[in-house]
Each structure stands twice: as C-alpha cells, then as structure tokens.
Structure 1
Amino acid sequence: MTATLITNIGELTTNVARDDDPCGTLQGAAVLVSRGRVAWVGLAADAPRLTDAETPPAAEGRIEVVDAAGRAVIPGFVDSHTHLVFGGDRADEFEARMAGQAYAAGGIRRTVAATRAASDDELRRRLAGFVRELHAQGTTTFEVKTGYGLTVADEERLARLAAEVTPEVTFLGAHVVPPEFADRRDEYVELVCGDMLRACAPHTRWVDVFCETGAFTPDEARRVLTAGIAHGLAARVHGNQLGPGAGVRLAVALGAASVDHCTYLDDTDAAALAASDTVATLLPGVEFSTRQPYPDARRLIDAGVTVALASDCNPGSSFTSSMSFMIALAVREMGMTPAEAVWAATAGGARALRRDDIGAIAPGRRADLVMLDAPTRTHLAYRPGVPLVAGVWKDGARLD
C-alpha cells in the first residue's frame, strides 16, 4: 500500500490547539498519510524516510513524497450549510437586490416550482457539478439540505439524491409553506411531521427548520424539530436571519448541533449559545448577496461561543460555494482574525456537524488536506478572489 508524505510545508494548520494557538500551527512541517487517515504529523526534519525501519505500521509499503516547497497546508474545508439540490435560477432577484429591493424569504417558492419540474437526472447532473466545484476549492466535507420540493415525493427524492454525494443530509421540509397550503398551515406542518418526515428519514441525518418571519413560527418549528428528533434525527435550525427571534433559544433548548445565520442576536442569545454545545454557524455570503448587516462574529467569539463559517450555497441568497470567500468576508466584515476564520471554516464546521474525524490534521483523523499556493493561511483573506488551492486530498486520495 502506498502512503503519502507531504513535506517541506511552510505553515501547517493542524487545529490541534497548543498554548495560545487554537490552530496548532507548525512551521517547516510534514504530514504522513496512509489508508485514508493521517498517520504522523511533525517537523519535516523528523519525517519518516523511505528506508526508515521505524516507519509507523500504518505506512507500511512505499511512501510517495510530495514536496510542498514552502506552501501552507490546512485541513479540508467543512461546509456545514448548503442547499445544492435544486432547479432553476434566480439571477434576476440578485440584480433587483443590487438595485435596492429588499430580500424576502418568499423567493424560495420560485425554486420549489423549478425543482419540482426538473427530472432526477437533471438534478443529479447539476449536483455533481457542484460537488466538483466544492472539491476544486478545497471543500472536502459538506452538508446538503432538502427544502425545494415540499411534497412527500419531491422531498424524498431530494434527500435520496443528496445522500448519493454526502452522508450529511438534512431534511428541511419546513423551509417555507408551499402555495398550495397557504391557507392550511397546520395541515402542512402536520404533513412535514408525519408522512414527509417518514419518507425522508431513511436518507437523512439531520432535521432543520426555517424559524423566521415569513417561514415558520417558533411553535411550528418546535413541532417539526421534536418530530425529527423522535425519528432519530439530530437538530439544526435556521434562525435570527431576518430579525430578532426565538431561533437561537429554541436551538439551544432542543440541543441542536447548530443554529445558522445568527445575524440578529441580543445578549440573551449570545449567553445561551456560550453556555451550550450549539454552534453559531455564520453565513456571510448571505449578507454579501442581500445587503443585510453582517453578524458580529467578534462579539460571539469574545463571549465564548463556538463559531463556524459555511457558504449557504443556494440560488436565492448566496449562490457561491467558495469557503475561501467566506473567510475573506469574515475577516473584512465580521471582526475575525484570519486564524479564527480558517478555524471556523474547518474545525468549526466539523463541530457544527458533530464530527470528530475531520476538521483537524492529527493522527487518526481522516486525511482531508488542502495545500495552498501561498505560504500562509492568511493569504485566503489577503488575496480574496484568487484561486489559491494547489492540491486537495480527500480520505488520503489526491483529487483531480
């Protein structure tokens, strides 16, 4: 079996905290990868050699050497919030917002109509294109939500298609109330909690709800999340995006892994998050695309809240899959340091998905690595918009 030694790494971000450095940064480092996992991490001068009799057992056989030539290496990005299975396009809405029109959640219904009209093969081809796009930009783990079908059959097929590309699938039947149930909200919530949930649960790990004005009330959101938990799914919440609300407190009360958006928080919300295991997942691509205020990441971090960054890639409010762009926005607009932003886009995303096998470069972790065409992780914010990914390894295999 061939192992891979990536050596002469200028700056290695391990995310194994040491002293005052949560990124666990090593200079002049090397990483040995074998059987899809990280087998060894240390200084390049101490790296196993091709003829070293003490090569770790995990690296038995030939070692392929990759010379990083002083480049930086970071863990693969973990994008814990996307909506990648959909039909249609909403570029006209973006253009209207740039001309001053306010964002509203109602545009979701346009994508629902287009998605219902698309075939499985059309959706599958588009999804495959997004996966290639994610990998090329250094994202090695990603979550995908349903929510653009809103019938039992359509939500089930979206969950099934998403499960073909990731184990991190989220049931989001409670995205908005579809037009045919506009005057029968209670019936729709009952459908989501009943037949729709039962159809989707076999393909999904998570249950989510858009707890927001124009979407679902706190009481409706609680019903949906409680039903999902009863079916063995873990909870996530869209909350506090369009204004102050109960989303954060509901997420914390139900032990949700993450509450996403967190644009409008009060002191009670921040304190509740800090005292919980619920991650605040910030989605700055949304604020970029909708011209809403950016979340105050500095306030959350200083309060002791665990923060993740994700793309929220979707056709309406954030049609980008670039985690490096999220890092640049977080540093420029949200008060994060480059190190904090990279941690949030890797280890933070892993926390939001409650995964302990990704988000760090350490022995036993999955060998999901990104080599940057830059000497430091800071360049992800310092050189926004520039493609800096020089190599990506997923489960130890280099991706094309």
Structure 2
Amino acid sequence: MSSCESNCQLDRPSSRQLDLRSDDVIIRDEAITCIDATGKIVLPGFVDPHTHFVFGGYREDEFNLRLQGASYMDIMRMGGGIAATNRATHAASEIELYEEGYKRMERMLDLGITTVEGKTGYGEDTATEDKMLRVMEQLDRDHPVDVVKTYLGAHAVPPSWKGRSGEYIDYLIKEGLPMAAGRAEFCDIFTEEGVFSLEESEKLLRAAKELGFKLKMHADEIEPIGGAGLAAKLGAVSADHLLKAKDEDLFAMRDAGCIACVLPLTAFSLREPYARARFMIDHGLAVALGTDLNPGSCYSQSIPLMIALATIYMKLTIEETITAITLNSAAAIDRADRIGSLEKGKAADVVILDCPGYRHLSYHFAMNLVDTVIKKGDIVRRPCDLSC
C-alpha cells in the first residue's frame, strides 16, 4: 500500500449491476442509506488473524510473576501457562465460554475488527476441543464479527502426556484431526523447544493437510529452531510470532508466499524484542499484524496499542501498518479475495474513523478512533453505541 485516501468509493456486491459514484451510499433492496462521513476517514474493516479468544479462567497471577522476573517457560514448567487455562476451559460450561467469548467479540467490534481468527487449543482432550469449536461455531452464527476457526490441539503437551509428546501427536492425528475436519479451516501447532519438535510438527501438519486443513504455525517465538522454514516447506498460509526466526527461514517464507504474522502486543507483554517486521518488509515478505488475544502471554485485543507499537518500535510506516491490519491480515487467513480492501466484489466491511487523517491512527496513539463499523453492508456500530 503506497497511500491511504480519506475518500473511498464503496461498491457493495449485488446480484445486479451497480454503478456507485457517491462515496457515502449503501444500496440495499433498492433503498439508499446515507452515511455522513464528512471530515472522517473510511478504511476497510480490521482483520485480526491470530487470537485465542475462547477460553476459561484468567491468569493475572502469572502476569504478576512475569513482572517479578519469571519467564513464560518458567511458568509453564511450574504447571501454569497453557496447562492452567486448559484446566479452567475443561471445567467451564459451554454457555460460560460462549458468554465470555461474546463479550470479547463485542469489544473487538468496538475497535473496528470485522473478522477474527480464533483457535482451539485449551483442551487436554478431544471433547474439550470439540466444545471450543462448538462455541466458536455458535458465536460465528450469532455475532456480526466473522470467526475463522483454527484447530490447535497441539498447543502444549498435557500433563497426562508429559514426556510423550510424540504419542500425543499420534493421538491428535487419530482423534483430534478427524473431529475438527470440515469444521476448522486451519490446523496450527506450537513448534518450540520443549513443546513440539520440527519432526512432530511436520508429522501432524502433513496429516492435517491430507484431511483438507490449511496450515498455520506458531514458529520461532522463543528459540530459533526453524519453524519458519518448516512453514515455508509445507506451504503454510502463515507463520506467526517469528521473534527469533533466522534470515534464511524468513527468505524461504517469502519465496513460498507464506505470510509473516507478527504479534507485537505479546512481545510487549513478555518484555521481549519485537519481531523484525521492518527487515521482513524490506526483504519482500508480506507482514500481517495480529493481537494474539489470550489469557496468558497477551490479554489484550487493543488494535490502537498494536498500531502504536508497530509504528514506533517496529518502524513500520502507518501505510504499511494499515495494510498489515487489513489486506495482509486477510491474506493470513486466506481471505484477501473477499475482505481486507474496499473494492468492487468484496464484502462491504468498513470502519469510519473520527479523525482528520489516517495518520492519526499512530499520531493519536493508543486511542480508539472508531466512529462507525459496517459489516457486510450493515451498520453494526454507530457513534452512540461506542460512547453511550
């Protein structure tokens, strides 16, 4: 994206030919609804391509431990981390998970997010993973924000499988993948030292691919073990985190057309160096930005803070950042042909910002400037909804 314009023409897909010349009209059933965006900014709806937004329980005590110097892996070794959320999610009822997930989606909509990717991964058994998928399926039906579902059975090795990660992968291939096939679009895995090896990751992902899953990976977040290179090798749609990814693996991703999904809110929360998004862009990678909303390493879905971190600390331009939260994020969930930009033939997912110029997204940093949200041509957030 070389520039953003404050005056955008919106052509809503229709079964009949439309020729819209005004930039402030939506045509529905021969009726015209006028939206006065004078002095405001019109952008595509924001896309969050990496979240864990359905979960039980919270881990604020772990956050305080990290503030005192404990590392993410230290907490995992103490029985906390993902395992703690697994226990809480297993204990939570389906309605409890649904109600909390719905509240989080309401906040997403307030922030201009019109499509979100959501992962399973907090079940120590297939039944809990199935429960999480059912919750996301119902939320997708009930809430304006579209939910793109990812199966992440290989998020961590459950305590009952400790020391048997290879056997756990076999269990997921036999039980988990068939349960999620046809329901979750993507399969993901946490490829990391002390979690799942490259060999285990490749075994699971190849099995998932045979069942029709598209692939994602948590790659090279803590140690540079080559997850990004494996993502390129397997034709993954995206590799995510990438804080410690090696140059040669990033170049392999570029050559394979694999999207680099970076998660600055997580690095901020963990006080880790940010992924090298500037280096990636300068070397031809397509970079997307995701929040990584989850109860442990990043309990935040703040698009405004993410924009601030991307521009101030990761050295992206505001134009690159807007692309990374719209079109490139859509590409990271294989939807760039449907959403992520305002052009004829795509869904009318739109955010209107109450500011004089798009650069205010970084200049007026960490503030929610969203005025109105439109999803598939419907106004789903008005100014009074956001301020009253």
2:5 to 23, 26, 30: 26
Using the TM superposition, give the Cα deviation of residue 324 of structure 1 relative to its aligned residue in structure 2, in angstroms: 2.5
Alpha-carbon distance change, 303 to 89 in structure 1, aligned in 2, over 3 angstroms:
same
Match of 2:385 in 1: none
* Aligned equivalent of 1:11: none
Aligned length: 369
CA distance in 1, matches of 2:133, 2:219: 22
| Amino acid across the alignment from 1:385 | A
Inter-CA distance 101–40: structure 2 relative to 1 (3 Å threshold) = farther
- Shift in Å at residue 40 of structure 1? 5.9
Following superposition of structure 1 onto structure 2, how do residues 192-231 of structure 1 map, counting pairs within 5 Å? 192-231=172-211
State the alpha-carbon separation in 1 of the partners of residues 182 and 348 from structure 2. 28
1:369 equivalent in structure 2: 350
Do the aligned partners of 1:248 and 1:273 also contact (CA within 8 Å) in 2?
Answer: yes
Give the AA of the match of 1:111: T
Q: TM-score, normalised by structure 1?
A: 0.88
Q: 1:101 aligns with which of 64, 70, 74?
A: 70
Q: CA deviation at 1:376?
A: 1.9
Match of 2:143 in 1: none
Is the aligned partner of 1:148 residue 2:127?
no
- Structure 1 residue 37 displacement after superposition: 12
Cα distance per residue 1:76-112 (max 9 Å; x no partner): 1110100011101111111221222222272111100
Is this contact kept in 2: 1:283–1:311, CA < 8 A? yes
Question: What is residue 32 of structure 2 aligned with on the other side?
Answer: 63
1:14-163 equivalences in 2 (<5 Å): 21=2, 23=3, 25-33=4-12, 46-47=21-22, 61-104=30-73, 106=76, 107-163=81-137
- Please give the secondary structure, in 2, of the residue aligned with 1:360: coil
Say whether residues 1:254 and 2:253 are aligned partners.
no
| Alpha-carbon separation, structure 2, partners of 1:67 and 1:329 | 31
Matches within 5 A, 1:277-316: 277-316=257-296
Q: Pick from 314, 324, 327 the counterpart of residue 334 of structure 1.
A: 314
Q: Confirm whether residue 244 of structure 1 aligns to residue 213 of structure 2.
A: no
Greater shift in the superposed pair: 356-365 or 185-194:
185-194
- 1:90–1:316: 8 Å Cα contact kept in structure 2? yes
1:357 aligns with 2:318: no
2-structure distance, mates of 1:121, 1:146? 16
TM-score where L is the length of structure 2: 0.90
Paired residues of 2:24 and 2:37 also in contact (CA < 8 A)? no
Measured in 2, the distance between the counterparts of 1:61 and 1:282 equals 42
Matched, 1:388 2:369: yes
CA RMSD across the alignment = 2.2
- Per the TM alignment, residue 59 of structure 1 is displaced from its structure 2 partner at its CA by 6.3
Give the residue type in structure 1 aligned to 2:234.
L
For 2:6 and 2:298, how far apart are their aligned partners in 1? 35
Change (3 A) 1:385 1:36: farther
Q: Is the 1:273–1:279 contact (alpha carbons within 8 Å) kept by the matching residues of 2?
A: yes
